[in-house]
A and B are shown apart, each in its own frame.
Chain A
Amino acid sequence: MDFNFTEEQNMIRDSLSRLIREQYDFDTRRKVIESESGWRPEMWAQFAELGLLMAPFSEEDGGLGGGPIDAMVVMEEFGKGLVVEPYVPSVVCGGGFLKRGNDAQKEEYLSGIMSGETIFAFAYAEPRGRYNLADLETTAKKDGAGFVLNGHKAVVIGAPWATHFIVTARTSGDRRDSKGVSVFVVAKDAQGVSTRDYPTVDGRRASEVYFENVSVGAESVIGEVDNGLPLIEMVTDEAIAAICAEACGAMKVAHAMTVEYSRQRKQFGVPIGKFQVLQHRMVDMFMEHEQSISMTYMATLKIDEDEITRKKAASAAKVRIGQAGRFVGQEAIQIHGGMGMTDELAVGHYFKRLTMIDSEFGNVDHHLKRYTALTEMDLPAAAE
């Protein structure tokens, strides 16, 4: 057992941390998220230059030979800086699918993802599908050698900045069948693709994405036709580990800001941090953050284990982090008092991001249910 980071991972953390401190301060971020485009392509280019976008890919694929732990290191720093650029959509999700694609697909897309020139968004959620990855109304019908896509994808994070989409669609079976789901790469500028772009409450950008008779070739299918769900679940679990790490970074800062504020802010002649009722709550925040780090490590380290182990680990982490994020966020605001409610203080922005992480890729209830179902499946046969 070893909980140490490699030298490369420590280097990534240090250089990214410096970059964020120097160029991603809160006021700059605030201006950027209110600007028309909502992000900084030049920042994305710097992330690429630092090697962040290639960190989790194998050397064989042209990456730095890292993996989920490298993504975790990056995401924790991104959480501390409330980075809005689309690392999870493009590198973790887009890259996650394509590194498991065929040679031609790897050849075509991976180098672009790693250089930052190709940007993916993951179009999986649907207006009536909630968190069920197989609950799809988007269809892909066989048409000659290729497919024709029709459907509406909801709240596709990072879509306004994307060049390509990973799209999940039903190729056969009934609406929620686990069989009959396939994964496609679709260029954003393909005929029949349209988007409606908007900001999200936590400072990012998303789109409703519409597919109207979009023709794609057979080479656009990632993995097996009709058997895409296991792949989708695997990539989604990786994304869950990544946003758990992001939440850890955000909790760390929200907690540190709160402790610092309680030292500075005086009421009744003393710093409010002297009040035991607030001390204990800040201790609880600290413990929630520590438990979250543990769960994030656990889920990240189990990504390559067998399917049930991996799924249970991801769901367990997501449950714990959803709860911790809510507690830490709410208490951070409460202890800051009125100041915590203002847009000009960073703490409220951490609270908002932590709130939204809970509903990304399934909320607490969804993952409790998934964990329970997996546990039942995993019980020894002796139960029969």
Chain B
Amino acid sequence: MNLDFSPEEIAFRNEVREFIRENYPKELEGIGTREDLTREQFLAWHKVLGKKGWSTPAWPEKYGGTGWTSTQRYIWSEENARVDALMPLPFGVAMVAPVIYTFGSEEQKQRHLPGIRSGEVWWCQGYSEPGAGSDLASVKTTAVRDGDHYVINGQKTWTTLAQHADWGFFLCRTDPNAKKPQEGISFILVDMKTPGIEVKPIKLIDGTHEVNETWLTDVRVPVENLVGKENEGWTYAKFLLAHERSGIAGVARSKRGVERLRTIASEELVDGKPLIESQDFARKISQLEIDLTALEFTELRTLASEAAGKGPGPESSILKVKGTEIQQRLTELTLEAVGNYGAPYGYGMENAGNEGFGVGPDHANFAAETYFNMRKTSIYGGSNEIQRNIISKMILGL
């Protein structure tokens, strides 16, 4: 065990840093990660990385992975976080792709993986339903076989950024008579342009349109879009969720967030002195950073064991719970730091006839909105209550 980078790893870091500096799209600089960006903005860096062959470092090499070690992947996320890079969205790269290359047909791999890698094709996730949230296995959307098609009917919800999506992966019930709810579910790929799909926006409490309701009415999908075996979709769904969980920790991004918080706290004044000089606040930042360090080393241990050939297991629930708690605390402290200027409503400025934002210091813009938005993180991807159930059942054996 040791924590030092080898000379090769340092060389790799320098190469990556240089590449990012030269190629990170200028138009994205300084916008951070927000939910109200355009499709082009979301995909800009992804497309650059696709050309370079670096958009999918975690994939197996034969499908276009980079073959980097876990240390190199760590360096990669750190370097991107340093510039607040808008990383490829997870729905294609980290969610459906691992399912396709692990369980999909040869034809599915050839058809879908290149578009995911290049950033040309946008994917969305059709998992949750109004009645199936934490209890995901109770999905009611049906896919009924009709010749060489499935006919899909039902309603999905919380489909993140589906307004931009070209394709979606859906959990559908194919055997309504299965004994257990987990049985009889299939994992189906759906072209979002198929007739019968309607995507309706859901406005969230921060004012953004990030998620949608997706209604499916007699949507005809060719049977070759079934992934793996019919009625065994739950296995793939769980596999995907474990992948989603490990990506959800967001260590590098939170580290950058702590740095930003420090900067804000050194600019904000209390009785004429920087907020960061107040012991109360400085200790809160320290506590957050200590929690983040614990998460970082837990993630590194997980990556190392993945590199040793173990897939992400129930331990990834730790990363999800701790990672999201830290992200939420970070936005809470950021809002606290900006004081009175947390109040102006960034997304509402235009309603009041204002152009742009321009109220209070720039670093205060969207502090409250981001805090509100990040409450979602302990709910999505399997709520943190569900993650604790997983740990309790799978690790503690209770």
Not counting A38-B352, A333-B375, A344-B203, a sample of 4 additional A-B residue pairs whose C-beta atoms are within 8 angstroms of each other reads A127-B361, A333-B205, A352-B368, A365-B281
Write out the residue numbers on chain A whose beta carbons fall within 8 Å of the beta carbon of B7: none
Write out the residue numbers on chain B whose beta carbons fall within 8 Å of the beta carbon of A309: none
Binding site secondary structure of chain B? mixed
Write out the residue numbers on chain A whose beta carbons fall within 8 Å of the beta carbon of B205: 333, 340-343, 348-349, 351-352
Write out the residue numbers on chain B whose beta carbons fall within 8 Å of the beta carbon of A200: 343-345
Q: Is A268 an interface residue (CB 8 A)?
A: yes
Interface 1/0 per residue, A353-384 and B, CB below 8 Å:
00110010001010011000000000000000
Q: Is the CB of A198 within 8 A of B344?
A: yes
Q: Is the CB of A127 within 8 A of B360?
A: yes
Q: Is the CB of B341 within 8 A of A198?
A: no
Q: Can you list 12 residue pairs at the A/B interface with Cβ under 8 Å?
A: A132-B270, A176-B271, A199-B348, A200-B345, A201-B345, A201-B372, A333-B379, A337-B133, A338-B158, A342-B203, A342-B205, A359-B336
Q: Is A263 an interface residue (CB 8 A)?
A: no
Closest to B136 in A: A267
Closest to B203 in A: A343
Q: How many A-B residue pairs have CB under 8 A?
A: 152
CA distance A183 to B145 in the complex (A): 77
Size of interface on B: residues with Cβ below 8 Å to A: 55
Give the contacting residue for A202; candidates B203, B343, B349, B378; CB below 8 A.
B343
Write out the residue numbers on chain A whose beta carbons fall within 8 Å of the beta carbon of B211: 338
Give the contacting residue for B375; candidates A154, A176, A334; CB below 8 A.
A334
Question: In whole Å, how far is A194's beta carbon from the nearest beta carbon of chain B?
Answer: 14
Q: Is the CB of B339 within 8 A of A198?
A: no
Interface positions of B from 333 to 392, Cβ below 8 Å from A: 335-336, 339-345, 348-349, 351-354, 359-361, 368-369, 371-372, 375-376, 378-380, 383-385, 388
Q: Is the CB of A359 within 8 A of B340?
A: yes
Q: Is the CB of A267 within 8 A of B133?
A: yes
Q: Is B272 an interface residue (CB 8 A)?
A: yes
Write out the residue numbers on chain A whose beta carbons fall within 8 Å of the beta carbon of B135: 267-268
Q: Is the CB of A128 within 8 A of B344?
A: no
CA distance A197 to B341 in the complex (A): 14
**Contact A130 to B368, CB < 8 A, known contacts A155-B340, A206-B343, A333-B375:** no
Write out the residue numbers on chain A whose beta carbons fall within 8 Å of the beta carbon of B269: 128, 130
Pick the most buried of B206, B340, B348, B354: most chain A CB atoms within 10 A of its CB. Answer: B340
Question: In whole Å, how far is B97's beta carbon from the nearest beta carbon of chain A?
Answer: 25
CA distance A197 to B351 in the complex (A): 11
Interface positions of A from 261 to 279, Cβ below 8 Å from B: 266-268, 272, 275, 277-278
**Contact A341 to B341, CB < 8 A, known contacts A277-B385, A349-B205, A365-B280:** no
Closest to B361 in A: A127
Q: Is A175 an interface residue (CB 8 A)?
A: yes
CA distance A154 to B23 in the complex (A): 40
CA distance A272 to B385 in the complex (A): 11
Q: Is B207 an interface residue (CB 8 A)?
A: yes
Q: Is A208 an interface residue (CB 8 A)?
A: yes
Q: Is the CB of B342 within 8 A of A356?
A: yes
The 9 closest A-B pairs by CB, nearest first: A348-B205, A267-B135, A199-B348, A343-B203, A200-B343, A201-B368, A199-B345, A155-B340, A201-B345
Q: Is the CB of A131 within 8 A of B375?
A: no
Write out the residue numbers on chain B whose beta carbons fall within 8 Å of the beta carbon of A198: 344-345, 348-349, 352, 354, 359
Q: Is B204 an interface residue (CB 8 A)?
A: yes
Write out the residue numbers on chain B whose beta carbons fall within 8 Å of the beta carbon of A18: none
Q: Is B268 an interface residue (CB 8 A)?
A: yes
Question: In whole Å, how far is A368's beta carbon from the nearest beta carbon of chain B?
Answer: 8
Write out the residue numbers on chain A whose beta carbons fall within 8 Å of the beta carbon of B204: 341-343, 348
Q: Is A330 an interface residue (CB 8 A)?
A: yes
Pick the most buried of B207, B281, B335, B380: most chain A CB atoms within 10 A of its CB. Answer: B335
Write out the residue numbers on chain B whose beta carbons fall within 8 Å of the beta carbon of A343: 203-205, 207
Q: Is A40 an interface residue (CB 8 A)?
A: no
**Contact A201 to B369, CB < 8 A, known contacts A342-B202, A342-B203:** yes
Q: Is B157 an interface residue (CB 8 A)?
A: yes
Write out the residue numbers on chain B whose beta carbons fall within 8 Å of the beta carbon of A199: 344-345, 348-349, 351-352
CA distance A155 to B378 in the complex (A): 31
Q: Is A31 an interface residue (CB 8 A)?
A: no
Write out the residue numbers on chain B whose beta carbons fall within 8 Å of the beta carbon of A131: 270, 339-340
CA distance A326 to B371 in the complex (A): 12
Q: Is B66 an interface residue (CB 8 A)?
A: no
